[in-house]
Structure 1
Amino acid sequence: MTDMGSRLRTWLFRLAFYGGSGPIIVTVPISGLFGRGAMIGHARIWSSYQRWCARLILGITVRVEGTLPTHPVLYAVKHQSFFEAIDMAAALNGPAIILKRELTRIPFWGWATKVYGAIAVDREASAAMMRRMMTEGRALTGEGRSILLFPEGTRVPPGEQPPLKAGFAGLYKTLKLPVVPIAVDSGRLWPKHGAKRPGVITYRIGEEVPPGLPRDEAERRVHAAINALNPPGPSRE
């Protein structure tokens, strides 16, 4: 596809996705009135809508390699683009999500994230915040929910492999859940800036990391697994 074609499809996607997202977002408080199950379903609708727009307009599809677990786990996911931030709600069957505190301060939206089952964190990672994150995580896993974490902390371009944030080790130790690492290569097609390109985004589900391992070993195994599709090198954005 030419650069002009990619730019045109990117703008058409933005019009369709953000235009269609409006009604989905403004009706979030209504779903919130019906409890957590309705909110999870609402999030999956938005997630599925994004994937539909990506396939139809951008020519982007998703391939999943491996099998998802059927029991609660701590998902540690590589984060390369905005795409998986929304897509994981449907791809992983509605996990509780650890997200930036700023998002919980949006009127109505912040309340809805709490109903859905989100855990807010701040960039400072204070001791008080860490304790609260562990408490909320235990409560959500007690409901049979899995937890989704982007352990490197934020979006990173292809080729970069920053170390895991401290919050991963705290959750791993406290929740005593197996960790399922997921490698993602969305940044190749869905850069932070510029036109999106057609192709296949791969989610590679890694081998479960059992609870109770020494911190260094658990972090090493998870870091390697989430970067399995992300060889180190210069950014391709």
Structure 2
Amino acid sequence: MNAIADITPDITPDIQARIIDAFNFRHATKVFDPERKVDARAFETILEAARLSPTSFGHEPFKVLVIQTPEKRELLRDFSWGANGMMSGTTGQLGTASHFGIILASTAETMTAGSDYLVDHYRTVKQLPEEVIEIFNGAYGRFQTTDHGITTDREIADWAGKQAYIVLANMMTTAALMGIDSCPIEGFDMALTTQTLGRDFGIDTGKWKPAVMCAFGYRAKDPEFPKTRRAMADTVSWF
């Protein structure tokens, strides 16, 4: 199969090339140019990509915190080794990124099948009729208890975290398409971050846990090494 040749009239080679160029452009930016800020409208587009992202059952078990106040960012520095510049001898993404965020994942308190939160979500967000809500509750309940065995708080939070990573990927791809750099960040102490979010950010940590951090802006310099990946034949199997 020739993927380039077998395209529909609306999917032009130019569009395909732009997508691939964006993925080649994107890299995990460790230090941003602190003088360059992402335009507010451009960042709204990144946030809209997050809001419109797909999630399992359409439950939207995520929330995006955008942390712009320097004082608030500094509260995370001591235990966010992936963002504090420890490995680059700089102030890191916390000190240089135009925009810095944390994507939160829902916990079992809200994402257990039949919870008041989910029933309200079905009614007010998805606007489902009552008979369909009953079907959703049953299907999601089987998914949790039988299909995937996701019943404990840790298991449900991990499942919600998977949805958060879909959101993260869409945010980074959207940014790359606009020539904006980004970095996903897992290098942080989960317990201390959770504690800080509850104490200093007013987050209900019974309902929300940090899944991943992310930073956006413009690179201070180009990557030192070219992007490397496995060959397509080692990445994809056709049956």
TM-score by length of 1: 0.28
TM-score w.r.t. length of structure 2 = 0.27
Larger C-alpha radius of gyration, 1 or 2? 2
